Amino acid sequence: MIKAAGVPEVTDADFESEVVGADRPVLVEFMADWCGPCRQLGPVLAEIAGEEAERLKVVQLDVDRNPSTAVAYGVMGTPTLMVFRDGRPVKSMVGARPKRRLMQDLAEVL
C-alpha cells in the first residue's frame, strides 16, 4: 500500500464513523496502489494533513480494497479527492495537483 506518511487509511467498515461522522471537514483521497498520480499526491496530502489538522482531517481510501464506498460516491478514477462536511460530499476533484492549487481548491469549503 502506498500510504502518505501521517495520512490514515479508512475502509468501507469505518468510513461512516471516520468521515461521515467527523467533527470537521474531511478530505478523502480515493486512491489505488497502482496509481502513479496517487503516489505524487501523497507528500502533498501529508503536508496538508499536518498543517491544517485543526481545520481539516485528511484520509485515504484504497478503492481496490474498499469498492463499496467508492461505488457509493460515484468514484470513477483515481485519484479522486472529495471533501465531506457535515456528513455530505461538498466538493470533488479528480487528478493530482500541486499543494498551492489544492489549497486554492479547498479554500471555499474550509
Q: Where in the sequence numbering do the catalytic residues fall?
A: 35, 38
Task: Tell me the β-bridge partners of 61.
Answer: 30
Q: What is the distance between the alpha carbons of residues 27 and 93, in angstroms, rounded to a whole number?
A: 10
Provide long-range contacts, Cβ within 8 A and 24+ apart, for 88-94: 90/25
Torsion of CA 41, 6, 82, 43, to 10 degrees: -10
In sign, the C-alpha dihedral spanning 67, 72, 77, 81 is negative
Q: Are 48 and 56 in contact, with CB atoms under 8 Å apart? A: yes
